[in-house]
Structure 1
């Protein structure tokens, strides 16, 4: 029997028709892969274009959700196209898809009982996007992880902390979230001045300095609120500014430096308070 099988294989190999069919199959498979990649590229470009158009006309509060949905759609398109291309390649290799699909359905039912966490991940990820709990680029804290959201996938969410460490968290484990990016943070800076100082002159210098503050994390113009309180030996003046969430310390250090240098240029002293 083995000799007969070997003879059949050998006879098929030497026939030109075999090589012709083999070459055609290889070309078809390569063509399917190229078409799949091209189709994915076109759909990704179309989705990105639609997202950009929506970002230009939507309110700022909706831009986060649109960006996240765009990335999620790109992932779904890629998975769908690659799955279909995989089936077509198997068909081109002579594998019957009917029994394969039927077997996959039966296996899917069996696997489903052991893949409940996977289903929970997908459903939770869907509601994260639908309810706009957080979006790509947001700074969040969930469980023991805190960082910027880099990717929201169908199954997992990728979080990068300030050290550059990447945490991949299953969506079903995200039960409680603190989102630091929904609202701007407020930074308060107190400047203590002596009672005998020229208050009007100092306030004028402080306002001029506040108007010239330029930092990528500052939102809007700082506000010089004026006298905050009277202490035993000094008067406390307060300046407030809004900045992007989680960058309060960075902005405050910048403000301390700028106000300190400005007051020193005018032979004045400041005392930073927490």
Structure 2
């Protein structure tokens, strides 16, 4: 038993000694590496190379972005009719693509500074990319749909659109998704592959429809004439109104009112504000001319003892 303990103690001391020797060798190697001027020189050179690569990449990205802006401006000022919404969208898409490509090239150059063989890396990236392409079919669908949205000019940045139950202003069209900002503040991020049915409210002028009610006791011709005179100069007072509003006439005979319909052509997506403006102006005009806007009434009948009927309101 004693001999066994002595042997175990000897093995422990030997392993400790080997560990100390390895540590001493590592410490000597590290000290030599840190005190070697060639190490610091190589580290300084590599740092300068990396900084130069990053700076040159940023400068190249800014130059390409300015070239894209210049090309979009020249295209917009040319004689050929071009949709400015499409130019903005295409410009943003080109900037995103160039930024991604140049950042990828920058990473490749930085890896080459550390003498990493890029050929196997690129080959492996190609194989992985092919596998991802087969596996991520939804991603490919999103990207392809995004290109077709821009190519066919279905909608662009700044348009007011409705996609399914989501409605708002388009803030961004990316390679994979579209961002919509609603008028109540919500931001919807929709994958392009899920965009099937789109309603675009910004391509053509809108029509504002306003129904005004007057009492049965009022003169229809007089009310119509007041409305026409009030709205005659509406395009001068409201920049959103394109043409003079039209008073179509009696739209409906209600239970206690006569409904007169007015329509007007206005700029895209401004029909709500134009309708509110028309309602405000017509309310003032009807009050000034003493034309009554109806309200609910109750008529009561009082039976007398002789059998006659007394009407009261």
TM-score by length of 2: 0.74
Tell me the equivalent position of 2:226.
Answer: 202
Which of the two has higher C-alpha Rg? Answer: 2
Q: CA deviation at 1:122?
A: 1.0
User: Is 1:222 aligned to 2:244, yes or no?
Assistant: yes
Tell me the equivalent position of 2:120.
Answer: 99
Tell me the equivalent position of 2:8.
Answer: none
CA contact (8 A) 1:118 1:155 kept: yes
Instruction: State which of 165, 187, 204 in structure 2 corresponds to 1:166.
Output: 187
Q: Deviations over 1:58-84 (max 9, x none)?
A: 536x22222211111111111111111
Runs (4+) of structure 1 moved beyond 6 Å?
A: 232-236
By relative contact order (CA 8 Å, sep 6+), the higher-ranking structure is 1
Question: For structure 1, which segment, 35-44 or 220-229, has the greater mean C-alpha deviation from structure 2 after superposition?
Answer: 220-229
Q: Return closer, same or farther for 1:21/1:76 CA change in 2, 3 Å cut-off.
A: same
The two structures, once aligned, show a CA RMSD in angstroms of 3.0
Tell me the equivalent position of 2:278.
Answer: 255
Q: CA deviation at 1:154?
A: 0.8
Q: How many residues align?
A: 269
- Segments of 5+ residues of structure 1 without an aligned counterpart are none
Other structure's SS at 1:186 match: strand
Q: Following the alignment from structure 2 to structure 1, what is the Cα–Cα distance between the partners of residues 120 and 24?
A: 31
Instruction: State which of 40, 44, 63 in structure 2 corresponds to 1:19.
Output: 40
Q: Deviations over 1:206-227 (max 9, x none)?
A: 2445244314xx1423333464
Other structure's SS at 1:132 match: coil
CA contact (8 A) 1:260 1:269 kept: no
Q: Return closer, same or farther for 1:168/1:91 CA change in 2, 3 Å cut-off.
A: same
Tell me the equivalent position of 2:302.
Answer: none
Q: Return closer, same or farther for 1:109/1:259 CA change in 2, 3 Å cut-off.
A: same
Tell me the equivalent position of 2:16.
Answer: none
Q: Following the alignment from structure 2 to structure 1, what is the Cα–Cα distance between the partners of residues 223 and 241?
A: 28
Q: Return closer, same or farther for 1:161/1:192 CA change in 2, 3 Å cut-off.
A: closer
- Segments of 5+ residues of structure 2 without an aligned counterpart are 1-21, 295-313
Instruction: State which of 112, 115, 138 in structure 1 corresponds to 2:133.
Output: 112
Tell me the equivalent position of 1:8.
Answer: 29
Other structure's SS at 2:234 match: helix
Q: Return closer, same or farther for 1:5/1:143 CA change in 2, 3 Å cut-off.
A: farther
